[in-house]
Amino acid sequence: MTPRGIAAPRQQTGALTITPEDGSPVVEIPTITCCHCGRVWQWIPGSGRNRGFCLKCNAFFCGPQCQACVPQEQQLENLEAGRPVDYRPVKVLIPGTPTAPPRKVIDPNAPE
Ligand SMILES: [Zn+2]
Ligand SMILES: [Zn+2]
C-alpha cells in the first residue's frame, strides 16, 4: 500500500531535484509525465488540479483536456500531418485463418 500523497513508484516517471543555494539539504520531488501529451508535473495531493488515469495506457494524464487517449507519438504525427490533435486512426483487428497447405486426400481404393 502506497501512503497517500506519494505516487506509486511505477507511476513516478521522473524526479525534480532542488539544490538550495543556502546549503540546506537537496530535495528530490517525484514527478509524473502525462501519458498523452508528455507534460511533466509534480505530485501534489490536494492541489485541486484535475488529473486523470488512462486505463488503456495504464498511466496518468495531466487533465481533462488530455482525456482523449491519443499518445504523444500520435499527437506529433497529427501535428505533422495537419490533422486535429485528438485524431486517432481506427485500428480493427480481423482474425484471419492461416492459409493451410491443401490437404492430401488419401483414397483407400486407389491403386498403389
Ligand atoms: Zn497531457
Ligand atoms: Zn491513453
Distance 60 CA to ligand 2 centre (A): 8
Q: Please compute the mean of the pLDDT values over residues 90-103 and round it to a whole number.
A: 76
Q: What percent of the chain has pLDDT over 70?
A: 89
Distance (Å, whole) CA 52 – CA 41: 13
Instruction: Measure 35 CA to ligand 1 centroid, in angstroms.
Output: 7
- The three cell numbers of residue 26 are 537537496
Q: Are 37 and 75 in contact (CB under 8 A)?
A: yes
Given this model, what pLDDT does residue 47 score?
A: 82
Neighbours of ion ligand 1 (CB under 5 A): 34, 36-37, 39, 61-62, 66
Range of the domain at 54: 9-81
Centre of ligand 1 from the C-alpha of residue 11, in Å: 15
Claim: this prediction has a pTM higher than 0.75? no
Residue 16 lies in a domain: yes
How remote is the CA of residue 32 from the centroid of ligand 1, in Å? Answer: 10
107 in any annotated domain: no
> What's the mean per-residue pLDDT of the chain?
82
pLDDT bracket for residue 105 (50, 70, 90): confident
- What's the pLDDT score for residue 1? 47
Would residue 72 count as lying in a domain?
yes
Count of structural domains within the chain: 1
106 Cβ contact partners less than 8 Å away, ≥ 6 residues apart: none
48 domain residue, yes or no: yes
